[in-house]
Structure 1
Amino acid sequence: MNRDDVTWSGYWPAAPTPFTADLELDEAALAAMLQMYAGQGVHGVLLNGSTGEWFAQSPAERRRVTEVGVEAVAGRYPVVIGVSAFTAAEAAELARHAAAAGADGVLATVPPYAHPSPAETLAFYREVSEATDLPFMVYNWPRGVAVDLAQTPGLMSQLADLPQVAAIKDSTGDWNAMVATIEAVAERVRVFGSLSHRRGLALMTGGLGGDGAIDGGGIGAPYAVPFFEAAQAGDLKTARTWVERYQKLSAGMIAPDYSGRFASPISQLKAAMNLLGQPGGGAVRPPLLPVTDPELLQQITAVLTEAGFTPLAQEA
């Protein structure tokens, strides 16, 4: 399998998983959020990724998120399911369920906490990616697993050569390492990375490569969707206009190392979605805490307003 076996590109939200006030899975809000994404024209979605709080869900809940999500999207855009887990066997079982549910692909990080070596990383991805016939997306997430796949020379190329791998989501905080990944593998597999800015536009339109971005939550979709569409059409002037608006929002919320400006990234994302009246916000589950400090909420409101959104009025 290679990049030509999928059409994955453009802007994808890494969707949060909605929970009710009593911390139950909110299936109606999940379906409504995916409907909102369809209206925004997103080019795909990642469910049960890092933003989806997979670590706070039971296996049964993760399977249910997959089922509700695939049904709600109904083929309107690709649905890739995160199957990250502490063992390859757990991840493979989730991948098989995703395939049976009708997902378009699966994604995984290396196991958190384990700090696998390059050889162990290859073995893990080989086992999980070959558990199904679905296209597989390797997820490099050093902030979450304390291993940066992009820092081991040649590893990304070896991963791209695994039979089921069709894409890489490279969320390293090292821009030069991400560019090196694109140079090494973009002719073979799709690469999603830190491309939603002028430097990313230069990479994509300058012949180096890069296919899109998958970011947490999708509040930037009204700007990121037209940015990638303009970039793919070669309309640089329009693309620059949209990406500057996106960057005002993104830089206001997320630090260069992918940490949040005001709270944990997922907590502040859900707070922002709630302020915008969007489905999919709601509560976070422990160990995360909700953003309730009025001053922090006011600061998030200011970022959203500066970026051109109209947050709901806060209660006094």
Structure 2
Amino acid sequence: MITGSLVALITPMMDDGSVDKSQLNELVEFHIAQGTHGIVAVGTTGESATLNYEEHADVIRQVVQLVKGRVPVIAGTGANSTHEAIDLTKRAKQAGADACLLVTPYYNKPTQEGMFLHFKAIAEAVDIPQILYNVPGRTACDMSNETVLRLSTIKNIVGLKDATGDVIRGQSLITAVSDQFAVYSGDDGTAVDLMIAGAQGNISVTANIAPKKVAQAAEYAMSNQPEKAKAIDAEITALHESLFVEANPIPVKWAAHKMGLCGEGIRLPLTPLSKEYRSQLEDAMSRSGIAI
């Protein structure tokens, strides 16, 4: 089972929007050195919505090659087309990813039965561990705990990234699923609380900027040291909030740029962080002990 702080890695880009492969290498090394427990390549934070098909597969392949087995790599391979999600998942398996992360089908708003059949079809088509991803705030599609429970009986569906921010709902699911099924937080602001309640890790945006503290908080939360986990998390609470003043990954890419981790490149329709929010994010970074 993959556990701990799993960074939802940004995809570094040049000023013209092309993928910066050299900087990607440096980002991978940075996270391993800082104690990040695993890397999620080309999730929402990695701008999966605007990378073309070949770029998507290529970034996954490059991250796997750079990591060299030192930490697990989870590939974002979800789509609102079942056929496309199957193909991306096959390519992630070929690249050597340890698992895949599959978001609920966005925009077309399937029924609960439609979501069940969608994920079942992907699991049956590609024999690789698969983690479901529920983020209704972005997809307009909310997968119920009941649907997750049905899917959890499929052997290679091994977990759920819960980005609802509803700890009580997440705790209810943790209680209901088997010990072989992992629930991960996908909401930095409530991640420590969910891990204290039994979640197996945090797929984190904040970890791009404060990897060591996010990893330490996860370690404490999952080893029955809640006060230590909360104390570390309190140091970066302002960062959790400020990294979402505009749509993710706009703020986190700007923050990473300020730290010298990547350039300013981001793809339309996303744009660099608005000037009105920059001082707020700089202040949050400073209060979190991040040098810029």
> Is this a same-fold pair by TM over 0.5?
yes
- What is the SS of the residue equivalent to 1:16? coil
Cα contact 1:160–1:188 (8 A) shared by 2: no
Question: Are 1:178 and 2:159 matched, yes or no?
Answer: no
Query: Match for 2:92 among 79, 89, 98?
Result: 98
Which amino acid in structure 2 is aligned with residue 118 of structure 1?
Answer: Q
Q: Deviations over 1:75-119 (max 9, x none)?
A: 111001011123111111111111111110111112211101011
Question: Are 1:224 and 2:214 matched, yes or no?
Answer: yes
Superposed displacement of residue 216, structure 1: 1.8
Query: Match for 1:307 among 280, 288, 291?
Result: 288
- What is the SS of the residue equivalent to 2:249? helix
Moved over 4 A (4+): 194-197, 199-205
Question: Are 1:209 and 2:203 matched, yes or no?
Answer: no
Cα contact 1:175–1:194 (8 A) shared by 2: no
Question: Are 1:282 and 2:272 matched, yes or no?
Answer: no
Cα contact 1:195–1:201 (8 A) shared by 2: no
Superposed displacement of residue 203, structure 1: 5.5
Partner of 2:146: 154
TM-score scaled by structure 2?
0.93
Which amino acid in structure 2 is aligned with residue 248 of structure 1?
Answer: A
Report how many residues are paired.
291
Query: Match for 2:129 among 127, 132, 135?
Result: 135
Q: Deviations over 1:104-154 (max 9, x none)?
A: 0111112211101011101100111222221100000112211111xx351
Question: Are 1:18 and 2:12 matched, yes or no?
Answer: yes
- What is the SS of the residue equivalent to 2:236? helix
Query: Match for 1:266 among 243, 246, 249?
Result: 249
Question: Are 1:125 and 2:105 matched, yes or no?
Answer: no
Superposed displacement of residue 230, structure 1: 2.3
Partner of 2:68: 74
Superposed displacement of residue 196, structure 1: 5.7
Which amino acid in structure 2 is aligned with residue 189 of structure 1?
Answer: F
Give the percent of matched residue pairs that are identical in Structure 1 and Structure 2.
26
Cα contact 1:195–1:212 (8 A) shared by 2: no
Structure 2: gaps of 5 or more residues? none
Give the aligned CA root-mean-square deviation in angstroms: 2.0
Cα contact 1:196–1:243 (8 A) shared by 2: no
- What is the SS of the residue equivalent to 1:85? coil
Query: Match for 2:233 among 236, 243, 259?
Result: 243
